[in-house]
Every structure is written in structure tokens, then in C-alpha cells.
Structure 1
Amino acid sequence: MFSNPLLLLFCFIEYSGTPSVPVTGKTGENVILTCEAREISDIVFSSQSKNILICKKDDCKNENGRVFKEGSCDVVIKDLIYSDAGKYTLRVYYTNDQTEVERQILEYHLHIHDEISVQKGEDLKLDVLLINADKVERNSSEGWTEVWTRGHGVNSDRLTVSDETLIINEFTVTDTGTYRVLDYEGETLITVSVTESSTESKGKLDNTDDDTEQISVWYWISSGGMIMYALLLVLTLITLAVMKHYS
């Protein structure tokens, strides 16, 4: 990473960043973890003690990776998914005017939010039981109530768990509301607003289709009747002309 290991060994200065910077993003969209450092020699991006490979090329937006560097050291995560939620650490390395290697540590807490609409009677599946998730709560008239806790499981017979998925069986209107996922420190990882999808629009569309079909049928019947009437009229005129000719 550095061309002079002795410089790193004897001239290393570390600057810790401020407390975790809160960042919010929506599923499917992009989020930017900003960094104001300049004259960067290297950056290391990690989450949960695991380094994350980031693209550092000018054309990295065209590559397949979802994490890339923008500007001097901004980190962009694109096409956000639930598992992106959590804490990130960015270590920025650069050389100051005294040729000393400095390291600035920046920390971020990424919160993912989403909106889901579910039809009554369907199963609602929330892939939110991440490895760093400690509990899931729902906001109701009584405030925030726990629906799942790590080590204790779900608090209702209508709830089941499959791998990292929390399933609400046979969704009802009482299941609507805001669900949030908290980590072990009580920080919010994911927030999901759940509403009941309306069937009225679908019914209106179905009725419109029925009406359109009835109009089409009536049109063809009416058109057929007019054609038959015209043919009969022509035949009648021909018959009268023939009878007059021979009379």
C-alpha cells in the first residue's frame, strides 16, 4: 500500500473521526458516504471488521460492483438492499506537509427505509433478520412493541421465522404500521412502512374491462344488425325493380 514501510512505521499519525455519521437511504437507490479529506494515498472501507472491495477507477460506475469511490474519497453504495444497513468505517491515508503518513478514521451508520403494500390474507415476508439485528419492533397505538427478539424469537403465533426472514402470516389491517429493526446498541438498522393494498382499484379496473367487453359485443351486434338491414333494403329495392320491369 505504501512505498516506504519505514515511513509508515515511524511517521504514522492517526486522527480519529467524529462519532458515527447517520446516513439514510431507500432500498433500490444510491447513498453517498461523504469524506472531505484531500491528497489521498489510499482508503480502506470496512463493515463488521470485514474489508469491502471498492472501485477506485474513474469509470467504476460502469463496473458490476455496488461500492465505488467518487471524488477524492467519497464512497457510494448503489442499489441499496436491507443487508447494507449497519456501521461502516472508512480509513483514509494521506501524507502531510512534513511527509508524515496520517490516517483519518470516519464512521457511518447506514439506515435503510422501505415501503411495502400487502393485500389482506397474503403472507408478508420481511428479510430483515440480519446478523447484526437484535430486535424488531412495530409502532402501534400503544407505542413501539417487540415482535421478534434474538434469542427469544417471535411473540405471536401468527409470526414465523425462516432464515433471515420474518413472516407475518395471513396479513390483516391490524398488521399495518411501521416496523423497525434495531442492532445490539439500540441503533435503527431498517425501517419498513407497511400498508394494506386496496382492492377497489383492481375492482374498478375489472369492471372497466367488463364494461368495455360489453360495449364491444354490443357494437358488433349493432354493426351486424345495420348490415343485415342494409342488405334487406337492397334486396327489397331489387325485387321491386324486377317486378316493375315485368309488370
Structure 2
Amino acid sequence: MMNLLLLLCFISYSGSSTKAVSGIKGGNVTLSCGSEDREIVEIRLYSRSEIIRVCEKKNCSGRVFKEGSCDVVIKDLIYSDAGKYFLRVYYNNNQTEVERQILEYHLHIHVNLTVRKGEELVFDDLPREADTVERCKGTVCTEIWRRGRGLLNERLTDSNGRLVIREFNSSDAGIYRVLNSIGGELVTTNVTESEGNDLNRTDDTEPHSAWVWIVAPLALMALIILIKITRQHLNRNKQPDSMK
């Protein structure tokens, strides 16, 4: 107990701030601490459900690493990265005491998907904070999944948080939003249909192209020979009878 009281005497809480950050799936995002001019002692990153290991070496193999004195970079973003993060930054002040600053971030991820008709539309693992998934067309949004209620679409399947819409068609295109329990956007996915790539279409252009490459040169050669023979015949008819 005495050790805890002594520790509290040297650590002061400087308050918290909230920052909204966004990134694209597969890209990188930086959680900026804004404390580059301070002597940083330690940083710790948390989500709502776990402590996140931050690599502090120059050549990091993991997806989460420190940049500069206390910025944190998350690379190769995936669906489940979206949500709330807390960054604790410990630094020395002018009186050699250790101060703690807590920064709060809300990470929103954008995704662009192009799907062919008849294929599966797959939404990767949903964030832990996901409460609702809805599809929006214009200003009208319809729920297709809700935590605790399950699936609200007959062509939708749920495999441990991995949502799949079977046999994609044009009506499935639109904006899909993953929301938390208070309506905050975690993931926004823009789904479009791939044009001119229908799986049900029979494409037989390659055999036709092969026949064209074979027949065309032969036809051209025959035409050249025919023209040559015709010219020889005409020239022979123009010669005088003595020359004939």
C-alpha cells in the first residue's frame, strides 16, 4: 500500500483527449501523440478488450510499431482493427517527475469492393465493438445483421463474425456500414458490381480469334495470287498477234 502511495506521488494524470482517425483497408494509419518535444519514458496502447504490443525496434515484423518518440502506426489495416484505442504516454517534466497523458482514438476504416454477379460478397471479421450492420441506398438504410438478433437477410450467412452474401446481384450494391452500440461508424464499405464480367456469360471469343488468325493470312495469299494471275492474263491479251 505504501509503495502504491509513493508511486501516485510521482505520477500525475494530465487528462485525456479524443481523436478521430481513419484509414483504408490494407493501408496504414498513425495514432499521433503530439508529444515529440518531451522526454518520453514509456508508451502503452490498449483497445477496449486487450493490451496491444507495440514494437519499438527499427525493423519491426509486427503490424503495430512506434514511430518517432511516441506515435503509433498500425499497418495493413483489416476490418477488426476498427474501434476505440487508448494510448498512455509517460514522460518526464521539468521537475523530473513522471507524468501520464492518456489519448483516446476512434479508428474508422473505409473499404472499396467490386464484386461480379453470382459471386459471394464477403465481409471479413467484424470489429469486437460491432453491434449493427446496415445497407444504405441513398438516404434509406436497412439492417441486415444485429448482435443478439443474428441475420436479417435470407441470403446472408454468419460464420463467427464473417458475413457472406451468397449469389451477389445488382440489388446488393451500395454502402454497407458497421456501427457500434451508440451508432458510431466503425467500417464503411462501398460495394459496386463489376461491369461486363458476368459469371453466367459464355465467353467463346478466344476460339473465334484463333480461327481468324489462321484463315485471314490464307485468304490474303489467295487474293494476291488471283490478282497476279489476272494481271498476267490481261497483259497477254494486250500483246500484238506477232508477239503472241
Fold match, TM over 0.5? yes
Q: For 1:209 and 1:201, locate their aligned partners in 2 and report how far apart those are by CA, in whole Å.
A: 17
Aligned position for 1:22: 20
Deviation at 1:154, TM superposition (A): 1.7
- Trace 1:95-106 onto structure 2 (pairs within 5 A): 95-106=92-103
| Alpha-carbon contact 1:7-1:101 (below 8 Å) kept | no
Task: Provide the C-alpha distance between the structure 2 equivalents of 1:52 and 1:6, rounded to a whole number of angstroms.
Answer: 27
Q: Deviations over 1:1-57 (max 9, x none)?
A: xxx998634221011222x21111001111111111121010001112421111112
182-191 vs 213-222, which moves further: 213-222
- Aligned structure 1 segments of 4 or more residues deviating by more than 2 angstroms: 4-9, 128-131, 200-203, 206-215, 218-227
The alignment's TM-score, normalised by the length of structure 1, stands at 0.79
Q: TM-score, normalised by structure 2?
A: 0.80
| Equivalent residue runs for 1:41-120 within 5 Å | 41-57=41-57, 59-60=58-59, 63-120=60-117
Does the residue aligned with 1:17 lie in a helix, a strand or coil? strand
**How far did residue 222 of structure 1 move?**
4.6
Question: 1:109-188 counterparts in 2 under 5 A?
Answer: 109-141=106-138, 143-188=140-185
Which residue number corresponds to residue 29 of structure 2? 31
Cα root mean square deviation, aligned: 2.9
Are the structure 2 counterparts of residues 137 and 74 from structure 1 closer, same or farther at C-alpha, using a change threshold of 3 Å? same
CA–CA distance in structure 2, aligned partners of residues 71 and 169 of structure 1: 45
For the pair 1:12 / 2:31, whether they are aligned, the reply is no
Q: Cα offset for 1:123?
A: 1.9
Report if the CA contact (8 A) 1:139-1:177 is conserved: yes
Counterpart code for 1:28: G
Aligned-partner Cα distance in 2 for 1:168–1:49: 29
**What residue identity is the alignment partner of 2:52?**
I
> Cα 1:126–1:31, aligned 2, differ >3 Å: closer, same or farther?
same
Greater displacement, 107-116 / 209-218? 209-218
5+ residue gaps in structure 2?
230-244
The CA distance in 1 between the partners of 2:135 and 2:125, in whole Å, is 13
SS at match of 1:23: strand
Displacement of 1:141 in angstroms is 4.3
Report how far residue 185 of structure 1 moved: 2.4
The code of the aligned residue for 1:69 comes to: K
| Separation of aligned partners in 2, 1:181 and 1:156 | 15
Question: For residues 217-236 of structure 1, what are the structure 2 equivalents within 5 Å?
Answer: 217-219=214-216, 221-222=218-219
Aligned length: 221
State the alpha-carbon separation in 2 of the partners of residues 185 and 99 from structure 1.
Answer: 41
